[in-house]
Structure 1
Amino acid sequence: MSERNDLDPNADAASELARKGGRARAAKLGAEERSAIAAAAAAARWGDVHVAESTGEIRIGNLSIACAVLDDGTRVVSQSTVLQALGRNPEKSRRTRGTSELRAPFLLANNLQPFISDQLRDLDEPIPYRVAGESGRSLGYRAEMLPLVCLVYIDAAKAGALDSKQMGAAAAAEILYRGLATVGIVALVDEATGFQERRARDELRSILEAYVSAEFRQWVRVFPDEFFEQIYRLQGWDYDKRSSKRPGYVGKLINKYIYDALPVGVTEELQRLNPKNERGNRPRRHHQHLTADTGNVHLDRQISTVITLMRISNSNSEFEDLFARAFAPQLRLPVVIDPGSYRDAPKQ
């Protein structure tokens, strides 16, 4: 029995009650609260290290290297799996942790030093990180370092500087380098971890946050009379400035020339926030959901540009050609419109 239990026979019972109480409290916590507590505990145990937000595995031939994208966007490859790929014992880095914290263990051999470039020496700094939900921490290196490490072994082999135990590492480095030469290492890491999809989503979210607001602003007139005058002129229609009634076809042209020329994803988000009702009408104008400092600024600029192109065009076909040359890279799909198939729409 421990010294504490000798002094207090009820210590074991009290300890068990405390454990039960802790489990009961944990059961009452929400998922976010438990996650925050676990994250704080991990940080306290492993120190202030980066967390891997996405992880994966790069496979080249029979070789496999674990990789990750950290919470600051840094792409890293795992030290232990690089050692394995080069035919080295990954346990060696654990036994010599003091040295491996400062230098990559696969670059410590004296006969490799003449072949290490200054660029590689700048990258030869381990990055400690941990994977969420897993115990312990890992050491990694910037992914850009890997092809440079391969070149060290390849160049040393060509110079006859390697010993027999290192020749296997040189052969593996040759395989890795050839594979990495085909596709950039950063792209490989992004593909293996699925990070490119998340990055695309993050970029789209940033665009939508800048352009679109869930809260709608009071309606104000944003399309000047000349915009409609020029559309009617190019279509060969009679324009009555006193009437606010527009053919439904005009709404399709506005989408084509104005909204679809905004960044990809903006039109779809506007349609989501401002859906059609059962009669096919929208409760608000799309521009009421555009942000004042970015969305409406771009909208105004687009309207002005389109008016200018229409103004200098002698025919609708000439305008369409000018518009396609000016904005074709931004358009996703050709728009084929039958004017007779649309009902009249209220004023824009």
Structure 2
Amino acid sequence: MTITSHYKATITQLGPDVDGYILDEMDGEQQRQPRCVLSKRAAASALGLKSEGGSALWRTLSRQNIGSEIDENLRKKIDNPIVFKYLGTGSESGGPGVTVHGIETSTFIEILRAILKAKLTETQKFLAQRAQDMLIALANTTLDSIIYQESGYWKTIEGQRVADILDKYLQDHARKWAKTFPDEFWVKLIKVKGYPSYVALNRPAFVGHWVNDIVYDRLVPCARRKLDKINPRLPAGYRKNKHHQHATEDYGLPELKAHLIKVMAYMDAAANDTQFMRMLNRGTPKFGDTYEMPLDDVYN
């Protein structure tokens, strides 16, 4: 098995010499959810251990007082580092690559926690301080998120990722109109919702719910009731036409664009999602099912 990385970044939150990598390719195939790793040397440096190739880390973790806090599963991961090729940009990209021995970020976090539980000697206590400092630095994020961001990986794949999410999770009428959304809308949406990138979403289906809530439920009164009336489900359970086939270009799209301008203004002004939704609900409330408007006036 050949594992390859094309993305590398210095993780300054852990130290000036701590390199993180994204294992984005395996046997020549791109990985949809690539693993993040630290090199052995980087892991040692993060803990203040100096050695060539990170061997000091393995020696330290093998000492009885720390080793007793390392279970069999963690020990197996420590003793079997991931061997991969880093193919960087520039001069490195045309060569055979650099061989790196690394550990997954989740394994590194387990090591930090094991160190904090161990009964350390006086000369080892600096390890506990370093472990505690790093866990605090990562309290509001994940090590993977930092590596994705700093290496440029998110920026590279963001466009395709958003397209995949929208295609899978938006309803038919929403998907059609979403193609007219400006790129900045998606950037602002994920930011105001508290995520650094769409790649960080554990539940991509949230995007469909957000768009329905923020846009479509506030765009046209009774739109869903109207669509259900003119395009009902057949006894077999499916509809004769797609919902978006009943949206008009001359009415629906201009209304959508005007609505998005207001929504993005609220996103810019809000400090967080709670504040954003408060502004949105005040300025552009949702049309409830009890809204009194003749259905024939909703769509022509």
TM-score by length of 2: 0.49
Select the structure of larger CA radius of gyration.
1
